[in-house]
């Protein structure tokens, strides 16, 4: 079978890899679509120089083989089922995993292909083998929507840890793909209003079309200061933390979802946090609880229209170089390969 391997900045090739076998507790999945996220973009543009590497962790497809130990187990995806897949690894034995915080697993993620190439999901392939416990049936929905299971699970994790409740007033800093998923999820879960902040006018316009109650640039927020219960920072830029705190009402939560450059510091008044009972929460990745919720949302169709709006382009696996070039060179939401 073929699998895409990024060999250096701007370089990707399709390699022949032995077709994986489904172990007793695994399922074999024919990949129908795999989304390109920030990690793939950084690998391809050279800002994350880990080579050679087989990326792709936002994948979905149909089950074509089921391991013998789980084949008759109720709840296990069966032949022909469309599934979204958790292709990240968790050890299950470190302190964080035992605390139920497996998003922060202490063991390094990933694996290797047959030739030793680093695997970071390896979902840009024809077929993948994955533990049955890490596959989630999503009914009969477009495979592109199913491939959004992983980022949606990450956003579910973000909103869950924020303490969000129906009726809350929400602001999202950053109107890119993850910002739009926060918009969609918070609206579906009963936010009284959701506003988006972005420097790009086109993205603000598109967010309005997707149901944002208000949009603004970062320099045009006076009327929205102090009026939100939860503020999600999906664009980790200098000044974003301070901006988010200004948007919070008393007892508000600032959730740092987007990654920040390592050298970015934030100036936070400790007394302000104390007297106004503000919270600053870091969130990273996702956990099984979030996957179950995300899979349910996908199957229900509650976010279908929102997800369809976020598919920027679709490429075949043999066009993966063009897909990566687009994702790395232009503003996109999600580019799909498969």
Q: What are the residue boundaries of the structural domains of the chain, listed by start?
A: 2-148+310-337, 155-282
Please state the rounded mean pLDDT for residues 80-108: 95
Q: What is the pLDDT of residue 326?
A: 98
Strand ranges across the sheet with 248-256: 214-216, 193-197, 169-173, 228-233, 248-256, 279-282
CB–CB of 245/272 below 8 Å?
yes
Give the pLDDT band (50/70/90) at residue 108.
confident
Residues 6+ apart with CB under 8 A from 263: none
Q: How far apart are CA 69 and CA 23, in angstroms?
A: 9
Please state the rounded mean pLDDT for residues 100-117: 92
- Homologous superfamily of 155-282 in CATH? NAD(P)-binding Rossmann-like Domain (3.40.50.720)
Q: What is the pLDDT of residue 133?
A: 96
Q: Which residue has the tokens 């063991």?
A: 107
Tens digit of each residue's pLDDT (9 = 90 or more) over 15-37: 999 999 899 999 999 999 999 99
Question: What whole-number percentage of the chain has pLDDT above 90?
Answer: 98
Closest CA to 175 of 145, 202, 155, 154: 202
Give the E-state strand segments of 122-223 in sequence order: 127-131, 135-137, 169-173, 193-197, 214-216
Q: Which residue has the tokens 């603000």?
A: 204
Q: What is the pLDDT of residue 118?
A: 95
Between the alpha carbon of residue 265 and those of residues 157, 237, 282, the distances in Å are 24, 10, 14
Averaged pLDDT of the chain: 97
Give the pLDDT band (50/70/90) at residue 109.
confident
3-state secondary structure of 133: helix
Please state the rounded mean pLDDT for residues 5-15: 98
Which residues on neighbouring strands pair with residue 193, listed in sequence order?
169
pLDDT at 124 over 90: yes
Tens digit of each residue's pLDDT (9 = 90 or more) over 126-175: 999 999 999 999 999 999 999 999 999 999 999 999 999 999 999 999 99
Q: State phi, psi for 178 to the nearest 5 degrees.
A: -70, -35
In this prediction the pTM is 0.97
Closest CA to 135 of 66, 84, 60: 84
Residue 67 CB neighbours (<10 A): 19
Which residues on neighbouring strands pair with residue 233, listed in sequence order?
173, 256
Tens digit of each residue's pLDDT (9 = 90 or more) over 43-93: 999 999 999 999 999 999 999 999 999 998 999 999 999 999 999 889 999
Q: How far apart are CA 156 and CA 92, in angstroms?
A: 21
Closest CA to 285 of 162, 104, 161, 89: 104
Q: How far apart are CA 39 and CA 324, in angstroms?
A: 11
Please state the rounded mean pLDDT for residues 102-128: 94
Q: How far apart are CA 284 and CA 55, in angstroms?
A: 19
Please state the rounded mean pLDDT for residues 213-240: 97
Q: How far apart are CA 26 and CA 130, in angstroms?
A: 5
CB–CB of 12/57 below 8 Å?
no
Tens digit of each residue's pLDDT (9 = 90 or more) over 310-328: 999 999 999 999 999 999 9
CB–CB of 59/20 below 8 Å?
no
pLDDT at 110 over 90: no
Pairing of strands 11-16, 2-8: antiparallel
Q: Which fold has domain 2-148+310-337?
A: Quinone Oxidoreductase; Chain A, domain 1 (3.90.180)
Q: State phi, psi for 47 to the nearest 5 degrees.
A: -80, -10
CB–CB of 202/227 below 8 Å?
no
């Amino acid at each position: 079978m073929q699998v895409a391997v990024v060999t250096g900045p701007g370089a990707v090739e399709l390699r022949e890899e032995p077709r994986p076998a489904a172990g007793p507790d695994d399922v074999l999945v024919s990949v129908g679509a795999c989304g390109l996220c920030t990690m793939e973009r950084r690998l391809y543009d050279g800002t994350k120089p880990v080579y050679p590497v087989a990326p792709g962790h936002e994948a979905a497809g149909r089950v074509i083989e089921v391991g013998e130990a789980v084949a008759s187990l109720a709840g296990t995806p069966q032949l022909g089922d469309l599934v979204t897949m958790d292709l990240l690894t968790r050890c299950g034995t470190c302190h964080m995993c035992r605390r139920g915080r497996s998003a922060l697993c202490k063991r390094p993620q990933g694996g290797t292909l047959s030739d030793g190439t680093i695997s970071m999901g390896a979902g840009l392939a024809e077929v993948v083998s994955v533990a049955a416990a890490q596959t989630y049936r999503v009914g009969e929905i477009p495979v592109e929507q199913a491939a959004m299971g992983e980022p949606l699970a990450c956003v579910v994790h973000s909103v869950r840890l924020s303490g969000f409740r129906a009726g809350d007033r929400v602001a999202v800093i950053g109107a890119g793909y993850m910002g739009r998923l926060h918009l969609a999820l918070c609206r579906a879960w009963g936010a009284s209003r959701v506003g988006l902040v972005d420097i790009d006018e086109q993205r603000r316009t598109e967010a309005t079309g997707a149901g944002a109650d208000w949009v603004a640039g970062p320099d045009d927020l006076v009327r929205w200061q102090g009026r939100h219960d939860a503020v999600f920072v999906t664009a980790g830029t200098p000044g974003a933390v301070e901006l988010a705190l200004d948007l919070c009402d008393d007892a508000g939560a600032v959730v740092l979802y987007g990654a920040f450059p390592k050298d970015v510091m934030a100036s936070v008044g400790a007394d302000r946090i104390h007297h106004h009972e503000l919270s600053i929460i870091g969130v990273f990745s996702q956990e099984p609880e979030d996957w179950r919720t995300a899979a349910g949302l996908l199957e229900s169709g509650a976010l279908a229209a929102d997800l369809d709006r976020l598919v920027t382009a679709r490429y075949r696996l043999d066009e993966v170089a063009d897909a990566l070039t687009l994702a790395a060179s232009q503003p996109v939401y999600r580019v799909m390969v498969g």
